[in-house]
Chains A and B, each alone.
Chain A
């Protein structure tokens, strides 16, 4: 399968922890990367590879992977974390890319 599946929405209280998951067969072979998108803005990279954060991304963002599931965890959620989050990886062919459907995080 070339699909990545995410829950459409999740709610979390300020200061609590939220985990966003992404399921797909290709994740057994390829790592996911994660993107935050606020309304009206371009996406930004928050996690890539096993658990790497680009410069400027707070350390409350972390990533993990297990078998066919990649996860993005936000520990100590802040109001500014309210956004849509997308996972991305290669499809099962390894040649093309695919995004998950996105998860809307409401704080």
Chain B
């Protein structure tokens, strides 16, 4: 299983960035997919997730309306469109493969992350 993120970089406040995560070695369409971020020197923060066919998405309060998670199962690809970026969005962004059951869920594969820096 391999997850490879791309698209990070330096962007000015108010700008936009699109992150991608390419999956290989898995049947991508079987799994929930999630974005998790980690600000420098801080802990992990769940950002958003999407179900197997893309019909259900959820995101954290501070990014709702600014970030959009999507997927393309034909291309084994997950995306995070980030608009109206703020300094507090600066973080390493990880994509993770999720398993979601009635009362439990977990992330059993992670990418290496892509750094997003929001600064003027």
Rounded to whole angstroms, the CA-CA distance of A43 and B113 in the bound complex is 10
Contact B107 A45 (CB under 8 A): yes
Of residues 37 to 63 in B, which have CB atoms within 8 Å of A's CB atoms? Answer: 43-46, 49, 58-60
A97 at the interface (CB under 8 A from B): yes
Rounded to whole angstroms, the CA-CA distance of A99 and B99 in the bound complex is 16
Contact B60 A49 (CB under 8 A): no
Name A97's contact: one of B46, B103, B111, B112 (CB within 8 Å): B46
The smallest beta-carbon distance between B3 and chain A, in angstroms, is 9
Count class of interface residues, chain A: 20 to 34
Contact B113 A33 (CB under 8 A): no
Contact B59 A45 (CB under 8 A): no
Contact A95 B58 (CB under 8 A): yes
Rounded to whole angstroms, the CA-CA distance of A29 and B102 in the bound complex is 10
> Given contacts A42-B111, A42-B112, A54-B108, is CB(A99)–CB(B103) below 8 Å?
no
Which of chain A's residues have a CB closer than 8 A to the CB of B94?
A: 42-43
> Given contacts A33-B104, A33-B107, is CB(A86)–CB(B113) below 8 Å?
no
A23 at the interface (CB under 8 A from B): no
Contact B103 A31 (CB under 8 A): yes
Name A49's contact: one of B104, B107, B113 (CB within 8 Å): B104
A48 at the interface (CB under 8 A from B): yes
Rounded to whole angstroms, the CA-CA distance of A67 and B106 in the bound complex is 20
A61 at the interface (CB under 8 A from B): no
Of residues 54 to 107 in A, which have CB atoms within 8 Å of B's CB atoms? Answer: 54, 84, 86, 88, 90, 95-102
Rounded to whole angstroms, the CA-CA distance of A83 and B34 in the bound complex is 23
Excluding A44-B110, A96-B59, A96-B60, 6 further A-B contacts by CB distance (< 8 Å) are A30-B105, A43-B44, A48-B106, A50-B104, A88-B107, A97-B34
Contacts from B to A (Cβ < 8 Å): 34, 36, 43-46, 49, 58-60, 94, 99, 103-108, 110-113
Closest 9 CB pairs of A and B: A48-B106, A33-B106, A97-B46, A31-B104, A102-B43, A42-B110, A99-B44, A49-B104, A95-B58
